[in-house]
Each structure stands twice: as C-alpha cells, then as structure tokens.
A and B are shown apart, each in its own frame.
Chain A
Amino acid sequence: MHYIVGALRRAVDLILSLDPAVMEIAWLSIKLSAISIIIAAAIGIPIGFILGVYDFPGRSFLTSIVNTLLSLPTVVVGLAVYSFISRRGPLGRFGLLFTPWAIIIGQTILATPIVTALTMNATRSLDRDLQLTALSLGASRVQMAWLLLLQARFAVFGALVAGFGRVIAEVGAAMMLGGNIEGYTRTLTTAIALETSKGEFAFALALGIILLLISFVVNILVHYFQQVKHRGAYHGNNSPRRGFA
C-alpha cells in the first residue's frame, strides 16, 4: 500500500516540478510513438481500406494474416528487427541499433496491424447504398474511395489512438532495440523497467501514472477533434432551417 501512496505523491511532485529528466523521457516517448503511428497510418490505412472495401481473391486469407499479426509479441518484434539491424545483420551498415530510429521501426511494425485491422473493420461495415448512390451520380472510383474514408473517419481516428496506446505502452521492442540509453533512447516504459529493477517501485509507479496521463490527454485531444468536426457538420446541416425560422 505504501508504494501506491508514495507513487501518487511522487507522480504529482514530478509533474508539478516539471522534472527535466522525466519531461525529456516523456517527450521522447510521445515523439517516438507519434512518428511510429504516422508511418503505421501511411501503411495501415490504405491496406485496411482495400481489405475492407474491395473484394478480391485471397482477401479472407490476408484478413486472417492481419488479424494474426495483432497478437505479435513485442519481444519477438524486437528480436526480429534486432537481427536485421545488428551490425552483423543485413541492414547492419546503417548503424540503426540502439538509436531512436530502431525503436521507431519496431513500434511501427507493432502498430501497423492494429491500424490496418481496425481500418478494415471500420470500412467493411459501411453503408453499401452510399457507394451505389455515389457511383450512380457519376462519382469516380477515387472520389468514392475518399467518400467512404470520410464516412469511416471516426473509426480510423480510433484505430490510430489504439495503435498509439499499444506503442507508447510497450516495453519489449523499446528495450531491446533502443537499449534504454539515458537521454537518448530511454522511454517511459524502459525507464519504468529500469526503476523497477533498481527497486525504486514508487518512482516506477509514478512514471506509469505519467504514461497514463499522456494517453489520457491524447484521447481527450482526439475526442475534441471528433467532437468539433461532428458539431460542425451538424450546424452546417441545420443552418438553412435556422435561416427560415
């Protein structure tokens, strides 16, 4: 129990005092996760969209593959990437191991299946009538695809948030690929693992609370974007009526 009380007090202290070391670690975590998610979005949204909307041979097989990749263990991803970017690996000459980029590679691989699968599910459940209507009104294939994506945007945002949650909370790949180097590749999760191994349980828990707070703020932000968008559309639809009144 005293760990929990100590942790809460410590977390409040760390946040209020803006402890520079902790802020640096937290900022690095956010940065790496954000970059990973941007890359994962660039790969996962188009693939998920294609799998969700279009019918083609092998689609269900690919769907199973994507769903299987959802359960990739972080340590396995870490190990696989490690063996590629180690100096002895095929990509060794780029010197990527134990740099932030190594973490980004690992986390992108972890996040991409999540973004893909959730995008796939979101677009699969879309209203087919809309597609037919759009096509009958003379929409091009690209226009129709864009229309569908717009329709699924909340769910796609949700996919990005879920992916972000996965990568900012994972420790296996970050530890193995980044090496937990202070001031360079130490993220919140690897710092938590380190402090735990040093027996600094209250401090480790405090860092965990900060991690949760970050996720919370990210969720609030995304929610805000969705809300504003939603309300905007609503007012747009209603303005003519208000004009009549």
Chain B
Amino acid sequence: MSGRLRKLVLVMMVVLMAASGALAAERLILATTTSTENSGLLAHLLPPFEEKYNVRVDVIAVGTGKALELGRNGDADVVLVHDRVSEDAFVEGGYGVNRRDVMYNDYIILGPDSDPAGVRNAKSAVEAFSLIAKAKTPFVSRGDDSGTHKKELAIWAEANIEPAAPWYMPVGQGMGPCINIAGEQNGYVLSDRGTYISYKTKTDLVIVFEGDPILFNPYGVIAVNPELHPHVNYEQAMNFIEFLTSDEGRALIESYKMEGDQLFYLYR
C-alpha cells in the first residue's frame, strides 16, 4: 500500500484544499425564469452590473413558480419573473418588497406550417385555443407552474375549455424542450417570443398566431423582504433593481438582439 497510496491520498488532499479556497466575493442570488437566462439576456446584462457594484450574481434559472418559492424560503435575494398575479401575491404575502416593472415581450402560438387546426384564421388567442381543442391536434403544455404555463391556463379558462389527454400533453419541462416535443408531435405550443427566436433554427414550428393583447408578457423584479429573511443581500438586491430600471440598464435591455431580433421591450 504505502508509497503510491500515500501519494494518491496526497493528491486528493490537494484537490480538496483547492476546492475549499477562494469564493470570497460578495454574491447576489437571482432567481429568475429560463426565458431570461436561455435567451442570453442575462449574459448581456449582468457583467456591467457585477463590475459596477463589485458583486457576483448567481443565477438560478427555473420557472416563475419555483423562483418565487425560492424567494419565499429566503433561498434567493431577488427575483426576476413574469406572472403579475403571483408577483402581487408574493408582495402582498410580505415575502417581497419594491416590485418594479422591468420590461416585456409577448407570447406567441407555434404550430406546424401546415396548420391542421387552422389557427392562422383565428381572431383571438382564445379562439385559436378553441380551434386546437376542436381539432384535437396535439398541444404541448409546460405543465410546470411557470409563468408561461399560468398564461396558458388562463387562456384555456377564458375559452371555457378543460383540455384533456390524449391531445393535450403537459410535459413538465422548460420552454425549449416543449418546443422540441411539439415539433416532433406536429403539434401546437404556447411560447414566449424570446425562447422561440433563440430556438428558431432548431425547430420546424412557425408562428401561427400572435398579437392578441392577452399574450402580453411583462417581467417584474422584486427584492426578497429583508425583514422576513435578515440574511438576504438586500443592499445588492436594491442595487440590482435600480440598475435594471436605470438608463444604463434600460439601454442594455433594449439593445439586446438575437439573430437580428429585439427580444425584450421597455415601458415608455
């Protein structure tokens, strides 16, 4: 055993020490949605913020429901999400403070180019959903309590339809995988525009419906309440909120483009 084993143990000890060192910088935990992360917006937005305030932003990209849950538990310092109803409940419940509007984009309905349910002729998103239900063509649902999922459920409720298997498929996955599944199934899916643009070259689905005001998708930023969770980095959370709503942050959001398309828009 002796010599070589001891050397191996020594190597492992060095690895262990290397891992335990460092990690001294201040951190801000941002719980946000997959749409802001996967679209590349955060990679564009965060470095200037991190440099300006000398902080490292750790991004946890999950659905809106989970992001708010992280905030409720005090496992995040600030949340950037998109579901106004749950955001308001979050603030009213005393979990978050200083909510601000940040930006918006919109949802779109994607489907196969052949459009078997004839969604292109729909006058509204509600009518589009009704047509899909009537034709019983596959519809892929996020099914994960995300902002997009909540919006989808709201539209079904508006249409007075209770979607059901086998044509209705809640898959419990992120936006990208849902687009992918819908593509494989030749079905329809509700998507945020940002994710679709970043996915455009990887799917055969096209936009079959857009533009209804009900598809408006606003993003809000909320600091986790420091009175409820004294350990949160409230100071940097407020710096972040201020940065997002400052001229500098707004210019960064507005200038972000993917494949030539602007992904997020500002309130005037």
Contacting pair B74 A88 (CB below 8 A):
yes
Question: A99 CA to B23 CA in the complex, in Å?
Answer: 10
Contacting pair A225 B177 (CB below 8 A):
no
Chain A positions within 8 Å of B198 at CB level: 198
Closest to B173 in A: A197
Question: A198 CA to B38 CA in the complex, in Å?
Answer: 7
Q: Please give the distance in Å from B27's CB to the nearest CB on chain A.
A: 8
0 or 1 for each of B97-134: is its CB under 8 Å from A? (1 = yes): 00000000000000000000000000000000000000
Contacting pair B15 A199 (CB below 8 A):
no
Chain B positions within 8 Å of A225 at CB level: 4-5, 8
Chain B positions within 8 Å of A32 at CB level: 19
B157 at the binding interface (Cβ < 8 Å): no
Question: A100 CA to B18 CA in the complex, in Å?
Answer: 12
Question: A228 CA to B4 CA in the complex, in Å?
Answer: 9
Contacting pair A98 B19 (CB below 8 A):
no
Chain B positions within 8 Å of A64 at CB level: none
Question: A97 CA to B232 CA in the complex, in Å?
Answer: 13
Interface residues of A in 85-120 (CB under 8 A from B): 86-88, 92-93, 95, 97-100
Interface residues of A in 215-245 (CB under 8 A from B): 225, 228-229
Contacting pair A199 B231 (CB below 8 A):
no
Contacting pair B202 A34 (CB below 8 A):
no
Closest to B19 in A: A31
Contacting pair B29 A86 (CB below 8 A):
no
A150 at the binding interface (Cβ < 8 Å): yes
Contacting pair B29 A199 (CB below 8 A):
no
Interface residues of A in 127-173 (CB under 8 A from B): 150, 153
Chain B positions within 8 Å of A95 at CB level: 231
Known A87-B231, A95-B231; contact A35-B16, beta-carbon cutoff 8 A: yes
Contacting pair B203 A199 (CB below 8 A):
yes
B262 at the binding interface (Cβ < 8 Å): no
Contacting pair A86 B4 (CB below 8 A):
no
Chain A positions within 8 Å of B199 at CB level: 198-199
Known A179-B60, A182-B59; contact A87-B18, beta-carbon cutoff 8 A: no
0 or 1 for each of A199-214: is its CB under 8 Å from B? (1 = yes): 1000000000000000
Given contacts A95-B231, A180-B61, 20 further A-B contacts (CB under 8 A): A35-B16, A38-B16, A87-B231, A97-B75, A98-B29, A98-B75, A99-B23, A100-B19, A179-B58, A181-B59, A184-B58, A185-B58, A197-B34, A197-B174, A197-B176, A198-B198, A199-B180, A199-B199, A225-B5, A229-B1
